[in-house]
Chains A and B, each alone.
Chain A
Amino acid sequence: MTAPAKGKTWIRAQHGTSIAAVLALTGSLLFSGTPAPAPAHTPQALSLRLMPQEIRMWGAGASQRLVVIATFADGTERDVTADTRLEVNDRDVADLSAEGKLVPRNDGETAIRAEFQGQVSQASIGVRESRASRPFSFSREIGGILTRRGCNDSACHGGVKGRGGFKLSLDARHPREDHRWIVEGGTYQVLSPESAEPIRPRVDPKNPAESLLLQKPTFQIPHGGGSRFSAESADYAALRDWVRDGAPVREEEQLRIERIEIFPSYLVLEKGQHRQLLVTGHLGNGRTEDLTDQVRYETVNPELVRISPTGRVEAVATGETALLVRAPGRVANSRIGVIADAVHVVPQVTDNNLIDRHVFSKLRKLRIAPSSLSSDAEFLRRVCLDLTGTLPPPDRTREFLSSTDPAKRDRLIDTLLETPEYIDYWTFRFSDLYRVSYSSTGTPAHSLVYWAWIRNSLTENKPYDQMAFERISAQGNDGPSRHFLQNGEVSRPQDGMPEEMRVFLGYRLDCAQCHHHPFEEWSQDQFWGLAAFFGRLSRTEWTSEGAIVVFEDPAGRVPDYEETEDTVKVIHPRTGQEASPVFPDGTPLSEERSFDPRLALAEWITDHPNFSRTIVNRMWGHMFGRGIVEPVDDFRSTNPPTHPELLDELARDFAGNGYDLKRLLRLIAKSRTYQLSAIPNATDRNDVANYSHRVRRDLDAEILLDSISNVTGVPETFKNNWMGVAPTGTRAIDLRVPDLYSSKFLEIHDRPNRASIPERKNDASLKKALHIMVGSTYQEKIGDPRNRLQRLLTAGRSDGEIIEELYLRALSRFPTDGERSRLEQVAASGDSREESLKDIMWAMITSREFASN
């Protein structure tokens, strides 16, 4: 390309734009799963966007990449930068470089104009301090190189233990520590503030080229990480000059990157398409800076998407993945969907509420047509199980299926949310999450009052922030205080604190106990600063099994016989110093709040933006089988949400409406998204993360057992480890302290023991399969002379009536004509009618349809 002429700059198209095929399909065709042929035609740009819209450049070395996006008639967006004519109004202020980047010339204001297919877009330009060079910042300059070159990646020196004795903080998050390891040298030790031998500087200011810091990455001497850059590169020169200048650690707070922003945050590409990303840094001085060429890009799935070191994305295969952008001290992500060549016109579907707006909008971008609305029977069974854990009784199923009321689904949802079964079920769910168990509290009665607090909270539909507040800040001997006990003793701060953070903020901090989190921004200091909020948690007790009182004791936790008063203090393992309560942003707990540190922490947690996101995501995950962030309590920059805007809006809605769990469930259940069918169409068959159709999942152990008991009419007998028996008719979800009651069925089906926060996986296993075939639970209930089948037989019901009853009770639907006919033949064909019907009952409760939802 030739140098641009003054005043006008043209960038010519490098290649022709592919022409997407557009199909005019009807919704019904799409819903039927039939893809239509794709006639080709030339797309016409409907609009144009030049990004960024406001360009601000500070300093002599500044630059700005530009991206031009065209929107076409088929709804797609494409990067047309290479085909766009760009023109800067006043080239004395700014100009385009040979690489197509905007660079400053002189202070002033101007604008840039983009034109493509007759469409025009403009952006304003401001240039300030065009003669000033940027002050040196260790983290920005040196940390930037180490980040961009991957030296401080978690797989290299940024890992937990560093690499080859050389430790760098992940993404240069802790520049002072990095500087120390580079300039002072020494071998990193995980749990010690001391460095091991040999302690030899990695820089040599007298002879910079002999510095290890330069010789290793240029592979002049053996380096496990291979060659990271050449001795001719600009990065080498920058490092060399820094060493020669005495390797200063100057840190300019104003240049620190506070936040990075990626454009676009969500991107849909057709397979084979390219797109340039823009990365903008928001600095400590309030300014912005184009970081597009200063960061490190990673793709979570390189088989779907590739990305160049300068942020150019190439769509390789269909699917959805995320890109990570690493800048010094910060990580951000962007999601990318790659769609097939054939583009469908996605029919408009009615949005029931904000959920549908977000979900269907994304589906349209991905050119996925959502499945059709579920049948009434499918919806009835689903919503009953999801909201109450209970199968609908046959008479209610008949009533619902025969109703012609157009609002019957909404009415049913409202009804279910007010049933005692709703309270039972969500008490069970939250008892799971909050770990109500004998093994946790060490005393069944403690577990009972903890359980009672959960149940009462749900009965009165207590605002969730209040519930969280009560749990985090609990004192005395009421229900929520019991969760601080571990076998009757107050749990250690480093054990208790991460659980609160995970339950209420969705952050998994455990790794940061011993070292900075290997993938996230959580530092070890932050971990121990938070743990110290629990450092005064102590207890008295009135007998060995008695009413333990939890309180804040300046003397700290009760030491056991092997501990001293010193060892119960919260000691930062690396510094060896007693940790004091500090919020993650570095703000220490004020003196006037120090009498009750957890009270302040509870306020901080419930005010935290992720508090609402976390519970919204949990409830979403329960209703859909997959969280918007999945796993539901693993929020991190490297695990981005599939629908961030939806999650944020739901969280805002939740917080703005009294943290009302019922309202949230009602909102979800009434969305069309929730009510979509599990039958996929041609476009959404492979979708697992965008809620285009219901993805069925296995019933949890307790729900499955209760459902079997329900269908067979034989309640389960739960014997506890002492000599007692739960009252007749007690369901598995009603067991208040479940680990008191051993159950072969529940263990086989992976009931969690609640020793840690349960993660239910419901994976298939041989033991489950064997149990279904010959397990005692099935055999005994089917063979029980007082079971439902026997009662139906005794009542003189016909085969058809019995089959229908079983279908309604187990599957919440009538048998199809084919099923009815075939099963009536089965019932009539065996030697014994009773045995044949038992076989039918067995087949029904072991079927996939029954055991999943």
Chain B
Amino acid sequence: MSNDNGISKNLLWKLLRKHVSALQMVGFSLASLVGLVIVLLALQFYNDIKPVFSSDDSFMRQDYMVLTKTVSSFGSLLGASAEFSDGELDELSRQPWVRKVGKFTTPQYRIYGSLTFGNRALRTYLFYESVPDEFIDELPDGWGFDPAEGKVPVIVSRDYLALYNFGFAATRNMPRVSEGMIGMIPIRLTLSGNGRSETVEGRIAGFSNRLNTIIVPEEFMQWSNDRFGAGEQRQPSRLIVEVSRPGDKAISEYTAAHGYEIAGDKADSGKASYLLRLMTGIIITVGAIISLLAFFVLILSINLLMQKNSRKLQDLLMLGYTPAQVSAPYVKMVLVTNDTVLVVACVIMLVCRSLYLPMLASLGVTGGSVIVTVIVAILIMGAITAGSVYAIRRRIDILWRN
């Protein structure tokens, strides 16, 4: 830092660094670092987890609901129908919040299923339903039914697999199975009714987050009901409704007025989403307040510093130094400090993110973009820097006038 005369190259800094308080600068840096990291992490976490609340196949998907009629002991005694009449269906379809209505079709025969793997077998009476394909969230390969082939693909709720793996298998010393493996386990379905009994081959072809039941293709349901059913048309007792405005108050009002029940009420996910937004908002506010306080610490220490060095600053102006030249050392100090805080905060945010992302992987979170967060970081530090530079320049201008 010195030339051949032994004179420091940056005489201005040598002169003006006096009274620069390392403690105050460290205090500001830490405070603004903490504030910025909180804001950035909250924002990034929100961005990363947001798809869970909005993407198509998400478990938090809110805009499908399953409607049934409320079962009351009083109603069943009076013989009130649990089925939806054509009139009720029409009225429901005409509601402004309804996009599509699908009917669950139930089998009109008995089913006995057996499932063999290893040398163990599970045998049970079964129940399944069918819905129009458009209501199924993940249509598996080979979905459909051809009577000539006689193979039935089945979709089960993903919850059932979890129930088996973590509940049943764990306590019975049965092997746990993955989604891929389970498709290879053959299921034998014995259908009986209408005076006949036949066995068809089935396999679990896929899993659903949306439908909390066992689903077979509509073609198969029609074919089997024709063959084993009594031949009577039955009205549906469960409906799947795609709604255009999830969380609309009109939905709960309508269902309550008509004595319908929303099964597996997904309105909860609306609440969860709202809570997430609220929490993120609160955390970001806290971070922003800390950042703001840090900014005031910086402004105060700059004012104090320039107050202490005001005589020197005035003397430099007397020598013909311009206000820009005189403020340059302090501007540079602020820039270096804030740039360091910015970089360190972004690094901390990215490190924390790499720690929490694996934990969220089981929810299907792959992580959103970090660009927005980095831009916000740059904007915040840019604003703090601009504010401080303005304070420095204003101070010098005041010195000029006195």
Are A and B interaction partners? no
Which of A's residues lie within 8 Å of B, judged by CB? none
Which of B's residues lie within 8 Å of A, judged by CB? none
